[in-house]
Chains A and B, each alone.
Chain A
Amino acid sequence: METFLSQLIFGLQRGTIYALIALGYTMVYGVVRLINFAYGEVFMIGAFVSFFLVNAVSLPQPILVVLALLVPMVTCSLLGLAMDALAYRPLRQKPRLAALITAIGVSFFLSNFVSYSSGETVRSSAVASFLLAGFLILYVLGVKVLNFPVKATPNFKPIKFLIPTVSLLLIGYIFWISKDLLTELRWKGSSFASYPVDRLIVIEKIPLYKSVYITNIQIMNFVVSVLLMVVLSYLVNRTMTGMAMRASKNNKDAVALMGVNVNRIISVTFIIGTALAGAAGVLSAITYPRLTAFMGVQPGLKAFIAAVLGGIGSIEGAMLGGIIMGVAEQFAIGLLPSSYGPSRIDFTPLADGVAFAILIVVLLLRPQGIFGEPPREKL
């Protein structure tokens, strides 16, 4: 009973993190029918931005906690906007497979970009961002001034390139100034960076029932995720933007005929999804403070499966799917013999297989997921 309860608490914590990432997958899918595979990388970048921030500034703890969460969320949503504008929007009218493969490319690009940005090569990554930003500026100037390489039409608005350019400059700048910081933290010496949790919060265990306890980090994790989900529900169900978002699932042309700028709605969806994934990255880094460039791959994949389990496109589905996934995985970890047990062999990595077992079962029994509508032919 006691083990059950502690495992449940750990499982719920894991689950809320999956749920936050899964929300991004499901919301963007609902509006543009695109699986943006890069959420795992956004999650990773969220963790890194928070890591840089917490190491770089010294502020009173409460303020630092809020900033450690908000700054990565904002940075990630800028990244989301840039991703959409640069990678996905140009492919909007093309076959869906093109955007899907691009999403895989974006995901590889981001994780490798961060991976190479360690030690001495960090400056070259910064230079790469600056070059890309410079390219965008030249492109806009070229079209505007010389009508090259394409003719400027009334729809060509330089303002659309502002956010991608600014975010590239920002990312480049962060890497540029972080070189010494990374060296100092012996980033290169070890295979991972360690998130300085103690600068944010002193871990305390709060006893709940007999030997069952909850940590203040877990409480923070729950409070933040529930708060984010409440804000999200309000936004989606009670605002005009949310209404337009839900309507876009149904019929995008008709949404445009209501006077809604559908591209703006898509941007908002990307902002929300990437901000949530960024927040998940920070929450995860505080609990499991090991940062690597590929730390987002597993959570990203599992959150995607969680979204499929819940019914891709459904917001409630993503929340529930994430929780189920987290709890199931935690129980598997608890049940599998670990290296501390008699066998001395660690079987806990097998828990990663739970996600895929769930995926197989869902695809066999209910391909549309828990809340998904059965696929139907468009009339």
Chain B
Amino acid sequence: MSMLEVQDLEVSYGAIRAVKGISFTVEKGEIVTLIGANGAGKSTTLRTISGLLKPQRGKILYQGQDITELPPHRIVELGINHVPEGRGIFTNLTVWENLMLATYTRKDRSRIQEDFEQVFTIFPRLKERSSQSAGTLSGGEQQMLSVARALMTKGEVMLLDEPSMGLAPVLVDEIFRILREINRQGKTILLVEQNAYRALEIAHRGYVFETGNIVYAGTASELQNNEAVKKAYLGG
């Protein structure tokens, strides 16, 4: 049984068909990446998995359970955390409150202090700024906060939508290093990236999107060596 299985998914915004019947799987402990040009339907796919959008057709299974019709908060409760495009930071709350709100579904309240410590060792900058309004953080810091929130929720699967967007190269390194580390500790990751080169470096497998369809699928090294993929997405 796959951790996450998407079957024949079709999603539209009114008359615009953004995702046109795609299928893929994510196995436990994997990093799977979805790559592809702007407007290919990657974010739409993630938003549908986390329940923010409802599909026209198709199914989403999480550990064998059909979650297609569930509302977003139920899907979070089951263990899927979505770090959305544009980060979704609550700019009118403090950094600490942002992290705290991410623990909303957790029953193990006594462990939360411990997890704060742990998250603060991974992201020391957030500790320094914990009582500051999150709106005053830099773009990079907001991205860190967004990932840190998903860690506080403690789900099984993390969906990340372009975590490297708008970050300086050193910060991109930092984010990818952290993702690999989180994955090593057991978290399953579904990663959407514009930066296909970097994504394939840390991913086990990948799917290439083109205007709402999956056009290539394979292990990271297969995709890295595929001539067409190289040409279209890896700059050579």
Contact = CB atoms under 8 A, between A and B. Distances in A.
Tell me, yes or no, whether A binds B.
yes
A260 B104 contact: yes
Contact of B90 (A155, A246, A259, A261): A246
Q: Interface majority SS on B: helix, strand, loop or mixed? A: loop
Contacts of A89: none
Interface stretch (B29-37, B66-74, B200-208): B66-74
A59 interface: no
A251 interface: yes
A141 interface: no
A374 to B, nearest CB: 14
Given A257-B82, A257-B84, A246 B93 contact: yes
A250 B92 contact: yes
Contacts of B100: 240, 243
B91 A257 contact: no
A254 interface: yes
A258 B92 contact: no
B90 A251 contact: yes
Contact of A258 (B69, B70, B153): B153
Given A247-B93, A253-B52, A259 B88 contact: no
B92 A259 contact: no
Contacts of A249: 92
Q: Interface majority SS on A: helix, strand, loop or mixed? A: helix
Contacts of B81: 257
Contacts of B95: none
A259 B149 CA distance: 11
Contacts of B76: 256-259
A258 B149 contact: yes
B44 interface: no
B77 interface: yes
Contacts of A251: 88, 90
Nearest to A247: B90
B97 interface: yes
B101 interface: yes
Given A154-B69, A261-B73, A250 B52 contact: no
Size bracket, chain B contacts: 20 to 34
A262 interface: yes
A375 to B, nearest CB: 15
A247 to B, nearest CB: 4
A243 B97 contact: yes
B90 A250 contact: yes
A251 B82 CA distance: 14
A244 interface: yes
Contacts of A253: 52, 72, 84, 88
Interface in A121-157: 153-155
A262 B74 CA distance: 11
A235 B153 CA distance: 22
A258 B104 contact: yes
Given A246-B92, A246-B93, A250-B90, A259 B153 contact: yes
B105 interface: yes
B101 A240 contact: yes
B28 to A, nearest CB: 21
A260 B82 CA distance: 13
Contacts of A153: 69
A254 B84 contact: yes
A244 B102 CA distance: 10
In this complex, the member of A243, A244, A249 whose beta carbon has the largest number of chain B beta carbons within 10 angstroms is: A243
A260 B73 contact: yes
Given A253-B52, A256-B52, A257-B52, A243 B73 contact: no
A259 B77 contact: yes
Contacts of B102: 258-259
B213 interface: no
B24 to A, nearest CB: 21
B101 A247 contact: yes
Contacts of B71: 155, 256, 261
Contacts of A256: 51-52, 71-73, 76
In this complex, the member of B77, B90, B149, B153 whose beta carbon has the largest number of chain A beta carbons within 10 angstroms is: B90
Contacts of A246: 90, 92-93
29 contacts: A153-B69, A240-B101, A240-B104, A243-B100, A244-B101, A244-B104, A246-B92, A246-B93, A247-B90, A247-B93, A250-B90, A250-B91, A251-B90, A253-B52, A253-B88, A254-B89, A255-B90, A255-B101, A257-B52, A257-B81, A257-B88, A258-B153, A259-B76, A259-B105, A260-B73, A260-B101, A260-B104, A261-B71, A262-B73
Interface of B: 50-52, 69-73, 76-77, 81-82, 84, 88-93, 97, 100-102, 104-105, 149, 153
